[in-house]
Structure 1
Amino acid sequence: MKERWLWGRFSPLVATLGIVGMAIDQIVKIWVVHIYDMANNPPISLTPFLDIILIWNKGVSYGLFQQDSTFGRWALALFTIGAAVLIWVWGVRTKDRLLAISLGLVLAGAIGNGIDRLYYGKVVDFVYFNYGDFSWYVFNLADVWIVLGAAGLIFDSFFGGKQHQK
């Protein structure tokens, strides 16, 4: 059977999840940065443990690998684009629905954060869980999609169907 590189059985699912997830992420970020103008307005306390605040992340997950230089900014942006292409090819070639859903979610997150890197030079983070002395890192919806997708990939690696028993 000929290997596919651009379009496969679950490509519509991966593409839909990637586009819809990215759009939701970007719409909320536009509201936080430009409509509510959080840089010039106070944080929003939604619950005693959940706030909406604005943090600019020049690194990757958990603020690792902070990049203050132009080279670092573009290196992370190019890495994100490369990762998105590899995720797409993996999604094109998959024959498993759970894997396709998981890859679509990871793709949505990669594209959402990639747009931030290209447009702002850094990622817009705004969801802050905290309670008393406990403080979780600040993240965004793209990060949520990536975590959910990664959880699906891990689940699939342990409990995947016949595809993994070859």
Structure 2
Amino acid sequence: MTSLNRETFWGPWSLYGSLIGLAGFAVDRLHKWWMINIYDIAARGRVEVTSFFDLVMAWNQGVSYGLFEAQTALGVAILAGFAIAVIIGLSLWLARVEYKVTALAIGLILGGALGNVYDRIFYGAVADFFSFHAFGFYWYIFNIADVWIALGVMFIILESVWPGLVGAGKKDSPDEKSGGTPA
């Protein structure tokens, strides 16, 4: 059995990815706080912004598209526990990345996951606000945390399919000998 060392939990891009994640979490929390407490979206109901975009208040008790809806404390705990396990797994992956774009992607996903798991733990459901629609078809309602997750996944897919497209073709890690951090 191998022993755990510092590199298991912290790598050359961990600080960068962690800061991206914390910034994403902060933006998501601030937006949700503002929408619920200042803008009072629940009292306003559906607010038409454009002919294809509305602001609404929806509490998602499930995961994507409302799947696996959790209406009991046990269900909420199971979904929150699963999300925390994903966050731990992503954090361990972040410690091993070699490319800045991968750290950016994982940081975005972490920020979004933290924002949504916070809602699930403290409210029992995730607050969603953005509703796009066209020709009578309504896409799922989502929030800023979901945007971070989608962007992070998009970067990972782009990096996997076209490594040079998003700058992932080169290792651009900070100088570890000088103890530097990424720019």
TM-score (norm 2): 0.83
Partner of 2:37: 34
Partner of 2:67: 64
Question: C-alpha displacement at 1:116, in angstroms?
Answer: 0.4
Query: 1:1-166, aligned counterparts within 5 Å?
Result: 4-160=7-163, 161=169
- Percentage identity across aligned positions? 40
Rounded to whole Å, the distance in 2 between the matches of 1:107 and 1:53 is: 25
User: Given that residues 99 and 170 in structure 2 are in contact (C-alpha distance below 8 angstroms), is that contact kept between their aligned partners in structure 1?
Assistant: no
Rounded to whole Å, the distance in 1 between the matches of 2:30 and 2:57 is: 15
User: Given that residues 3 and 93 in structure 1 are in contact (C-alpha distance below 8 angstroms), is that contact kept between their aligned partners in structure 2?
Assistant: no
Rounded to whole Å, the distance in 2 between the matches of 1:16 and 1:48 is: 36
- Paired residue secondary structure (2:127): strand
Deviates more, 1:41-50 or 1:62-71: 41-50
CA RMSD of aligned residues (A): 1.6
Rounded to whole Å, the distance in 2 between the matches of 1:87 and 1:21 is: 15
Rounded to whole Å, the distance in 2 between the matches of 1:5 and 1:29 is: 34
Structure 1 unmatched ranges of 5 or more? none
Report runs of 4+ in structure 1 exceeding 4 Å deviation. Answer: none
User: Given that residues 45 and 57 in structure 2 are in contact (C-alpha distance below 8 angstroms), is that contact kept between their aligned partners in structure 1?
Assistant: no
Q: How many residues align?
A: 162
Question: C-alpha displacement at 1:123, in angstroms?
Answer: 0.2
Query: Bigger radius of gyration, 1 or 2?
Result: 2
Partner of 2:179: none
Which amino acid counterpart does residue 133 of structure 2 have in structure 1? N
Question: C-alpha displacement at 1:131, in angstroms?
Answer: 2.3
Rounded to whole Å, the distance in 2 between the matches of 1:93 and 1:53 is: 39
Which amino acid counterpart does residue 56 of structure 2 have in structure 1? I
Deviates more, 1:92-101 or 1:36-45: 36-45
Question: C-alpha displacement at 1:157, in angstroms?
Answer: 1.8
Rounded to whole Å, the distance in 2 between the matches of 1:103 and 1:146 is: 9
Question: C-alpha displacement at 1:134, in angstroms?
Answer: 2.1
- Paired residue secondary structure (1:98): helix
Rounded to whole Å, the distance in 1 between the matches of 2:15 and 2:6 is: 17
